[in-house]
Amino acid sequence: MMKLSEVSEYSGFEIIKNIRPVRNTRIHIKPEGKIVVVGKNAELIQQFLDAKSKWITNKVNQIKSISNKHNLPENKIPFFGKFYNMGNFKKMNVSDLRKTFRDTLKVNAEAYLSQTTKSKIKVRVWAMKRKLGSFSRRKNEMHLSVYLAFLPKHLVEYVIFHEYAHTLERSHNKKFYRIIEMRFPFRKALDLELRKWWLLKDKILRKYDFSKSI
């Protein structure tokens, strides 16, 4: 299985091109503006970049703007949107810290789902740094990132409902977003707020080594 990686410049941006046997070309823009593109070959990656050039420029500028405006308070960590002194977390051993974050998120998710649907959806919490969550229709199982526990409760519920909506509509199409907007009519404002907090999460993980703890 061939895996190649190269770094180059495109339209003034640093691009990391990863060549892997993937079905679709995909892109990930990091908080500092670094761009990672994964594709089947160099030609497809270049075609993708050319087609998405304007979108990439706008998205990078948006991410940098949001990231610069929202700084992490000194020696404080958010837990469901409220900031607590870092010392409160340092006192806890790894096992208790992991249990606090994962169990609290799982309990909140299960409670919200019980109010939303009669279907028994299994909730699993994982240390996913890029994905907020995912849903397996085959297993009727929702996977959530443990780092959602940094976010305010209303954003956590927004993410949970987004994943639940995949039980009603598989794809991110107009019907899917109509379902979301029936519960959350100000979806676009929530998306912007969610992006702000998810970028803040990246700052937390860079500043404090939480990845091995929770």
Residues 27-36 pLDDT 10s: 887 766 678 8
User: What residues are paired with 35 via a beta bridge?
Assistant: 15, 29
The whole-model pTM stands at 0.75
Residues 119-151: pLDDT tens digits? Answer: 899 999 998 888 999 999 899 999 999 999 999
CATH number of 76-207: 3.30.2010.10
- Domain limits, the chain: 4-69, 76-207
H or E element, residue 102: helix 94-116
Buried b (16+ CB within 10 A) or exposed e, 41-66: eeeebbebbeeeeeebeeebeebeeb
Residues 6-24: pLDDT tens digits? Answer: 777 777 778 888 898 888 8
More confident residue, 63 or 19: 19
- pLDDT the model gives residue 179: 96
Buried b (16+ CB within 10 A) or exposed e, 72-96: beeeebbebeeeeeeeebeeeeeee
Per-residue confidence at 213, pLDDT binned at 50, 70, 90? low
Separation CA 23–CA 143 (nearest Å): 22
